Amino acid sequence: AHQAAATTTQDIRRAQRADGPATVLAIATANPETCISQDEYADFYFRVTNSEHLPQLKDKLKRICKKSGIENRFTYVNEEVLKAHPEFSDRKLSSLDARVEIASNAVPELAAAAASKAIAEWGRPATDITHLIFSTYSDLKAPSSDRRLASLLGLRHTVSRTILSLHGCYGGCRALQLAKELAENNRGARVLVACSEISLIAFHGPEECCLDNMVSHALFGDGSGAVIVGADPVDAVERPLFEMAFASQITAPDSEGAITVQHMKGGMDFHIARGVPEMLAGNIERCLAHAFDAVGVAARWKDLFWAVHPGGRRILDLIEEALGLDNGATAASRQVLREFGNMSGTTVIFVLNELCRRFVADGAKGEDWGALMAFGPGVTVEMILLRVASGLKGK
Ligand code: CAA
């Protein structure tokens, strides 16, 4: 008791803090089984939603699909699901109950497929995970996907769980930013970040009133991603991939109505305004400068590696142009867009995984600093300043 009295809260605080920066220690991804080719998507979508009487809308969807930069998408929604639930095709019908019920199982199960791979790659037992951050726009029930995932993976009862919802496409980045704070403020913490998105919650048939819905049906796909973050990696056991040097968020001015999401009786209502790519390109340099100024590193944008959320092909085009990047700077983002589409918050985890694969295959050719960027409703632009860590060097 005498010793406890002599310990100050400052001493406790200092002892709680990690020495080094939060570091990405493992990354993995997963997708549902059904894969639909983008060339065939318009035919599939108009057939399964009984909408062949709207040929002009179908032609529009075909035009958007052609320009999307996407070749394939994986989806939980297939003909079997729609046969069992024809109400999912008609937004005027009440279908939220059934969507929520399906998502409450499918979302954590898809997350478990990625998280179990990440834990295997990490090399330590699942019970060494101390914190779980789960991000999704698809699950609306409590207890939620985070609890279910903890059970599926056999995490310890003392694991500290957080669920993030409705961040949309910046959910993955938000979760990674919080993982950084947890890892750096809790010595020995190992944070599992899990994102899982099933666009079933927003699926419906075409409507002449809302043309931006054609855009979202042309872009969104389903997937899950998991990342393990911790500071002070254990030598010879853990492999440090990326150090997380700084995290920032900005809200774009005059942008509140540009990307909106709302749950309705007929599923999630989702809107993307026309000027979103231009708005993002116009704010991106401000966000980058804010982060680099804060850490006192002078960087040329051309020298960085990029893990940008591929919200749409045009967004990547305009960001490259605004920052004067070389053609190919966002190649990892474009590859993920091509192979999987926009999987909302999960997508940046796929991009980080693809970058890792490229660094392992070709070596980090001089790249040292990089930027992970994502955006979503707000309009919110987030970034994490990354540095290639020793586990990806010398390959
Ligand atoms: N709303 C309605 N229609 C749109 C539209 C929008 N936001 N954007 C494009 N279109 C229409 C165009 O009017 C055009 O229609 P017509 O063929 O009838 O003329 C059609 O789409 C094709 O447009 P373009 O010929 O100009 O081709 P493009 O080079 O612009 O490619 C695109 C089309 C692939 C959709 C491209 O515009 C793009 O990538 N846009 C970005 C989409 C976007 O904002 N994504 C963000 C999603 S939100 C997110 O990721 C975060 C989140 O929180 C979920």
State whether the beta carbon of 376 lies less than 6 angstroms from ligand 1.
yes
Read off the pLDDT band of 5 (50, 70, 90): low
Residue 312 CB-half CA count within 13 A? 24
Out of 64, 214, 334, 340, mutate this one to test ligand 1's pocket (max ligand atoms within 8 Å of CB): namely: 64
- Using the predicted structure, report yes or no on whether residue 395 has a pLDDT greater than 60: no
Q: Mean pLDDT across the chain, nearest whole number?
A: 94
Asked whether the predicted pLDDT for residue 366 surpasses 80, the reply is no
Pick the residue whose CA is nearest to atom 30 on ligand 1.
314
70 alpha carbon – ligand 1 mean position (Å): 13
Q: Is 276 in the pocket of ligand 1 (CB under 6 A)?
A: yes
Question: What phi and psi, each to the nearest 5 degrees, are found at residue 240?
Answer: -75, 125
Ligand 1, closest atom to CA 63? 17
Question: What's the pLDDT tens digit per position in 312-346?
Answer: 999 999 999 999 999 899 999 999 999 999 999 99
Mean pLDDT of 253-274: 92
The reported pLDDT for the residue numbered 220 is: 97
Kindly indicate the confidence band of residue 365, based on its pLDDT and cuts at 50, 70 and 90.
low
Both structure tokens of 393: 């060097």
The residue-averaged pLDDT of 205-234 equals 94
Residue 150 binned pLDDT confidence (cut-offs 50, 70, 90):
very high
Percent of the chain with pLDDT over 90: 88
For residue 3, the model assigns a pLDDT of 57
* Prediction pTM value: 0.96
* 35 has catalytic annotation: no
DSSP 383: E
Does the beta carbon of 281 lie inside 6 Å of ligand 1?
A: no
> CA-CA distance, 122 to 240, in Å (whole number)?
10
Of 339, 218, 170, give the one whose Cα is nearest residue 353.
Answer: 339
pLDDT of 363 > 80? The answer is: no
Looking at residue 343, what is its pLDDT? 98
What is the per-residue pLDDT for 158? Answer: 98
Collect all residues with Cβ–Cβ distance below 8 Å to 357 and sequence separation of at least 6.
none
Q: Is the pLDDT of residue 301 over 70?
A: yes
Contact criterion met (CB below 8 Å) for 295 and 385: yes
- pLDDT-derived band at 211 (thresholds 50, 70, 90) equals confident
Would you place residue 349 in the very low, low, confident or very high pLDDT band (cuts 50, 70, 90)? very high
Burial level of 228, CB count in 10 A (0-12/13-18/19+)? buried
